[in-house]
Structure 1
């Protein structure tokens, strides 16, 4: 299955690395007969659930407790945090490689942030769990067991995901040893602070080292990939003087083992010349405060739509954001662009360390800020309060949720082409579900355009609800040249502005019937082609996530009778 807009024989990039002794699990693809599949539960654990540990289980527990005794040279922070660490093994079925995900297999380390009798939650970076349609297996450092996990929250901006597991699957012995980490969102890390970087190897052995924070608020600048996929934006991350390389993830703790950040993996793409690019990854610290805020909303009751987790319907949080990509500029540069001394002094007084101003890189297409903010605008203040960092914008957006009669708009002061301008800019509310609906037609996977596509700043005026994310070798779309990275805006003269309209049109097409398809590419170029439908080998089907049952349900729309 490919994402390129032209024929390619190269295999998709994979993060699977050779590792002697690494256990590999084959995760089956989604069924082809319309049977519902539980999200994250394709692989069933073979553990017997015991309310009370048996004598045999007690013996195993005693043996394992002795086997995981802290190493002689292990730090106190490592011994405290090790029982909270989890090794992830993630598989993305080939039929649902959506949102531009660049590989089928991912590995990484997460940390348990909540553990009770009813629910456990693990935080991990989004370069390990990229999309919700993933098969997730969790291996615990505290107890030798592997159980499935369920993706319950994907933050739309920050690079982390929350994965739920069923504590009863651990058994009585496992539940007694597994615990949640203590989170320390405040005070924020500062330059020169000492932290402990702790993570897991593929053999579930804890590894740690003491490091020094060199930059606690390094602004990310990740460019768009050739095939748009999730990338972290509007984030300040933590940099250390020493780490374990670009493939090692884990947590940053203080000397008492309290988690101050997760050491997460970020996906990027390095480009060489005009036609060559290569996928890469790097690791940075993600401050724990943003994870702690979402966790509090899940545990104490959020204001979003409910999601079934371990048989219990729980309201999930909604995230209010301003869908604008920002980047910092030094005040010395801003002064040369004409920013007044009064504003320079006000911003320095607000934040004497950063000494920066935020500028607009671009607005997401279809956002409420799209026609108001322009590239190059300097954001000086929100609600008359000076802003100097991404967190200031986030706090202003979250404050809107506490006002019952607000319209979700921010009063902003910007600097544009030598003039100060006051604007009222709308914000957008997003959930943490990610893409929850895809359709396979003639061998191509279509979906709503995900945020990475909208971040390019363009959506076709004719309709933008049917975006081609993938195509399959040997399919009709491959044979006739309907590749990825474009929108289907019309079939046989009938508009397809959204997925429902697309289904209404395609289900009327018979086997062997030709269809005239009009498309618009990411670069804005229109195209018309004709393809022949083959319902014998390539039936039309839909895959949709149902939050009421926590199931991915596959339904055949059109097949050969």
Structure 2
């Protein structure tokens, strides 16, 4: 039996009979209702046939792609061809990208299923399975009967509603001409079609459920619902039947395996809405045109198609405008989506003639129908966890961008680290303009590992402003080399191939093997403190943001020395005035560890210092302490790839401060706490307070118990001037501190300014006792610490 929809399109095009056109469109708008009182026994028989053919679909989207993000979900499907093994469900279930899925039948037989088609626009798609894999269940396919849908028809929705495996929800079709529901601003939305509506109260998990009548026929496909009411939305099945017929013919031509089937789909890259005649009149529709349309259409027609939006760069761009009223296509009066879509699908890559009215003026346009599959991506680039592909028609319509631009579906590690968000459009990379994915791959192939290059992007939320970030090409191979994945519809798999020749990626800058001569140990430890602050939970020790504990040999009172050149000292001063009323540092500080650093003893410095600092106050002592310790301070920026977030690592991004403990022309070592460097598998960037530069570091040691780690850097990366300006701190392992002694906590703010606070020793040998965190993470134990009173003086 031929497809009624295809027969409708061909007959109308050939005969042009007005009576036939009226009859066909009348069937679409409001099919004749046949009085048929269904009994309970009729529904019982129908459900006995339908329920075994409905399956629970468990899907896992392996990668973010186009409108969908990575993740797992469950939904419903139903068998529409038992012999060939075809299951019908929604497009948002099949997913546009890579997916792994399995179907569970009523008797709990589980089989793998593979996607063979997902429509570029409408919310339907197909899975295939091996029919011989079902060994213990007797079931029948569910026939499709879109012509049976009519207002007042009693229906049942059979599916995995709310994850209940089998739910049967009753309802009555109330509308056949509802606008397609709008789900997301930046996700999948159906358009250019009518939806049906009924108060069946479907919820999550029922996507893809068959909407059946009392004869066990599917009259629609459940697609969505409104969370604030019982309204559910069903997709008509006319175009579903057409696609199914193409798939069946493709399978019959090769019985051994599925072949890639090309289903013609045409588009003008324009969105139409069905508006009532009252609205079209306000848009300038002439009275004569309305009279002609009402006469040509069946009595049930209430409106016409109006242009809602046009995608830039598409066939209709610069030709159609929002508010244009569609009158004819190829000489035929068109007021319904079904007939318009039939004409577009039958004229792919051909010109069609559109007659529209714009503000009361009649216009005739000749537009080329574009292949819808050509602007629907079937491949993507994966680099450092990022998924990048050409911008699809779906998202181009959402964002009002050109199709084919370089779109970030998932930023991954490298781009997320630079601050590039999801849905970004890459416009420039490493100084070169980017408009195609191949151009991005070409630029990537020229860059070496560790290179830092600028990237410019725009976002649909701020479309007129380019934003610039600095991207660091991965120095370590946390992820596989860049690959191109391409969809193979014959197998349902995505085939990967290298995007860049491996020899083109060379290490640009790195840390040499500093393990020589060192006893280095790398331990993946559990991070304990928070990313930006940590406070002792039992009150014995308070670790203050932005400061390093420093015990100086100058513990003078306020009447002591003051510098003769306050202007010089003031440039680096962050004093008590930077504190909030409750005594907490409000500067943008990020230190997580206390350390005791002994300055040079007083005898060695008296001659030089006392001569220059006569009459100094305690505040001047703080400034002097900052100037002494500042060349040793280093700001850490630590990024942990998601692929190695294990053993209690609770975040991907950490800031903190450390200090240099060894510095020579060949090697530098920085001590830092394990709350900042929680794991050795991380990317570390060092910023020096004494010299404005950022260089990479390598984690060479993490203590298995105590809260410190060593990070190595190459002094050559600092340059001659930078290497001469930084120095190692002089350590004093066992400071002779007593209760009441004064010390200064010194650290760095986010702007690399030294900041300090005078503190009083309250307990020089307190036992550290930190309570357990809510989530697994590192916790320092078996340690003696110096307890300080850092309150405001």
TM-score range, shorter chain: 0.7 to 0.9
Q: Partner residue of 1:115? A: 82
- Superposed counterparts of 1:324-473, under 5 Å: 324-349=270-295, 350-400=297-347, 407-431=349-373, 435-456=377-398, 458-459=400-401, 465-472=405-412
Greater fraction of residues in strand:
1
1:261 aligned to 2:226?
A: no
Give how far 1:435 is off.
Answer: 3.5
Q: Partner residue of 2:93? A: 128
Give how far 1:262 is off.
Answer: 1.4
1:541 aligned to 2:541?
A: no
Structure with bigger gyration radius: 2
Cα distance between partner residues in 1 of 2:43 and 2:172: 18
Of the three residues 422, 432, 441, the one matched with 1:503 is 441
State the secondary structure of the residue aligned to 2:435.
coil
State the secondary structure of the residue aligned to 1:318.
coil
Q: Partner residue of 2:240? A: 291
Greater fraction of residues in helix:
2
- Superposed counterparts of 1:92-107, under 5 Å: 92-93=61-62, 96-102=63-69, 104-107=71-74
1:197 aligned to 2:139?
A: no
Cα distance between partner residues in 2 of 1:217 and 1:336: 21
1:527 aligned to 2:527?
A: no
**Which stretch of structure 1 is more off in the superposition, 549-558 or 177-186?**
549-558
Given that residues 377 and 392 in structure 2 are in contact (C-alpha distance below 8 angstroms), is that contact kept between their aligned partners in structure 1? Answer: yes
Given that residues 159 and 266 in structure 1 are in contact (C-alpha distance below 8 angstroms), is that contact kept between their aligned partners in structure 2? Answer: no
- Superposed counterparts of 1:110-189, under 5 Å: 110-116=77-83, 119-141=84-106, 143-171=107-135, 173-174=136-137, 177-187=138-148, 189=149
1:235 aligned to 2:193?
A: yes
Given that residues 430 and 455 in structure 2 are in contact (C-alpha distance below 8 angstroms), is that contact kept between their aligned partners in structure 1? Answer: yes
Q: Deviations over 1:323-353 (max 9, x none)?
A: 2111121101222333122221232231432
**Which stretch of structure 1 is more off in the superposition, 106-115 or 477-486?**
477-486
Cα distance between partner residues in 2 of 1:528 and 1:218: 43
State the secondary structure of the residue aligned to 1:315.
coil
Cα distance between partner residues in 2 of 1:400 and 1:100: 27
State the secondary structure of the residue aligned to 1:186.
helix
Give how far 1:456 is off.
Answer: 3.8
Cα distance between partner residues in 2 of 1:314 and 1:502: 29
Give how far 1:496 is off.
Answer: 2.9
1:518 aligned to 2:462?
A: no
Give how far 1:503 is off.
Answer: 1.3
Given that residues 153 and 433 in structure 1 are in contact (C-alpha distance below 8 angstroms), is that contact kept between their aligned partners in structure 2? Answer: no
State the secondary structure of the residue aligned to 1:233.
coil
State the secondary structure of the residue aligned to 1:131.
coil
Give how far 1:492 is off.
Answer: 2.3
Cα distance between partner residues in 2 of 1:284 and 1:310: 38
Aligned residue-pair number:
457
Q: Partner residue of 1:481? A: 419
State the secondary structure of the residue aligned to 2:220.
strand
Given that residues 78 and 206 in structure 1 are in contact (C-alpha distance below 8 angstroms), is that contact kept between their aligned partners in structure 2? Answer: no
Tell which has more relative contact order, 1 or 2 (C-alpha 8 A, sep 6+). 1
State the secondary structure of the residue aligned to 1:300.
helix
Structure 2: runs of 5+ lacking an equivalent: 1-39, 508-793
TM-score by length of 2: 0.53
Cα distance change, pair 483–207 in 1 and its aligned pair in 2 (3 A): closer
Cα distance between partner residues in 2 of 1:72 and 1:337: 52
Q: Deviations over 1:282-334 (max 9, x none)?
A: 741111221111111111249xxx9x997342533131233211112110122
Cα distance change, pair 382–434 in 1 and its aligned pair in 2 (3 A): closer
Given that residues 43 and 215 in structure 2 are in contact (C-alpha distance below 8 angstroms), is that contact kept between their aligned partners in structure 1? Answer: no
Q: Partner residue of 1:3? A: none
Give how far 1:443 is off.
Answer: 4.4
State the secondary structure of the residue aligned to 1:329.
strand
Give how far 1:483 is off.
Answer: 2.4
State the secondary structure of the residue aligned to 1:113.
strand
Cα distance change, pair 546–479 in 1 and its aligned pair in 2 (3 A): closer
Structure 1: runs of 5+ lacking an equivalent: 1-70, 271-279, 402-406
Give how far 1:75 is off.
Answer: 2.2
Cα distance change, pair 130–309 in 1 and its aligned pair in 2 (3 A): farther
1:214 aligned to 2:174?
A: yes
Q: Deviations over 1:187-246 (max 9, x none)?
A: 4x2212222332245777543354321111212251652xx2221111211111444446
State the secondary structure of the residue aligned to 1:128.
helix
Q: Partner residue of 1:19? A: none
Q: Partner residue of 2:538? A: none
State the secondary structure of the residue aligned to 1:192.
coil
Cα distance change, pair 75–365 in 1 and its aligned pair in 2 (3 A): farther
Given that residues 87 and 204 in structure 1 are in contact (C-alpha distance below 8 angstroms), is that contact kept between their aligned partners in structure 2? Answer: no
**Which stretch of structure 1 is more off in the superposition, 345-354 or 426-435?**
426-435
Cα distance change, pair 151–389 in 1 and its aligned pair in 2 (3 A): same
Q: Deviations over 1:494-514 (max 9, x none)?
A: 333322221121022111112
Cα distance between partner residues in 1 of 2:172 and 2:289: 34
Cα distance change, pair 147–372 in 1 and its aligned pair in 2 (3 A): same
Given that residues 246 and 282 in structure 1 are in contact (C-alpha distance below 8 angstroms), is that contact kept between their aligned partners in structure 2? Answer: no
Q: Partner residue of 2:604? A: none
